[in-house]
Amino acid sequence: MPDILFRDAIKLGLQEALDNDPSVFIMGEDIGAYGGAYAVTDGLLDQYGPERIKDTPISEATFIGAGIGAAIAGLRPVIELMSISFSLVGFDQIVNMAANIRYMSGGQVNVPMVLRAPTGAGVQLAATHSQSFETWLCEVPGLKCVCPSTPYDALGLIRSAIKDDNPVFVAEPAMLYSKKGEIPNEYYEVPIGKANVIKSGSDVSLISYGHGIKIISETANYLEKNGINAELVDLRSLNPIDTITISNSVRKTNRVVLVDTARKTGGVMSEVASLITENSVDWLDGPIVTVGSDNVPWPYNHDLEKKAFVDVQSVVKAFEKGYGV
């Protein structure tokens, strides 16, 4: 099982799709000669040519709309945004068009399109380039939304996303592009809508996604030293959410801490908390504990950004306060 960078896992999935399906092409800002904002598409222009690796103007609404049209016409575009923050410029195309066309046409028209974007803070890009708008996009019916936490999941989810006949938004945590992880030599896919129990435990369920998995893993190691056996659940898919895996974990451990690297207010974990309340609240021995980053615009200054970002200490403190341990 070779080690591979997170960005290279995504690139491998894109190369496979380009090699195996002539209807796949990639479009976005500076994805050609420059190789993309995080070097995911580096070298693809030379390998596949400008017909399939298309640089676009700085106009997200325009090239997302062009991608929707291409998808309706039978192609499978992969649209790269420089930042999920810029999805706002194309929200009408994503939310009102891509997500709704299949429904408005009575299932006669599909939009098999993938949108990819770096998400989240932690890399000193300041307030306007550090948003986590997967928290907004995962609310949209008709739009699937995923967020990988490892190279294994990044490759498996991009494979599934490109094959899906629905629009899929792949939110890629900016802090993870240079992280390494193992992938198998054998072909696999990660199904959209299926969470992953990373570690089995008996005392508390720690649930997160994306970069948050690193935080809950480190939290579990800390708790282990204090005799607390934590179960770790990676959502992977934000729409649809795997309610069954979440419920099974909570009913097993009877305690839960939900960790969001995005701002706590309005985050993905608010929806998870609602689902737990509806399905498993009677199994809990205490409150649903939620932890997130501070409700402030993201600072550029490294120390201030780090202070605003959720960390192991804040998760442990919230757990101890919630359950009196």
Active site residues: 60, 129
Supply 72's token pair: 């309706």
- Using CA atoms, how far apart are residues 314 and 222, in angstroms rounded to an integer? 12
Strand ranges in the chain using DSSP code E only, listed in sequence order: 3-5, 24-28, 53-55, 76-80, 114-119, 144-146, 168-173, 180-182, 196-199, 204-208, 230-234, 237-239, 256-263, 288-293
Q: Is residue 15 a contact partner of residue 4, using CB atoms and an 8 Å limit?
A: no
Q: Is residue 245 a contact partner of residue 195, using CB atoms and an 8 Å limit?
A: yes
- Using CA atoms, how far apart are residues 262 and 128, in angstroms rounded to an integer? 14
| Integer-rounded Cα radius of gyration of the chain | 20
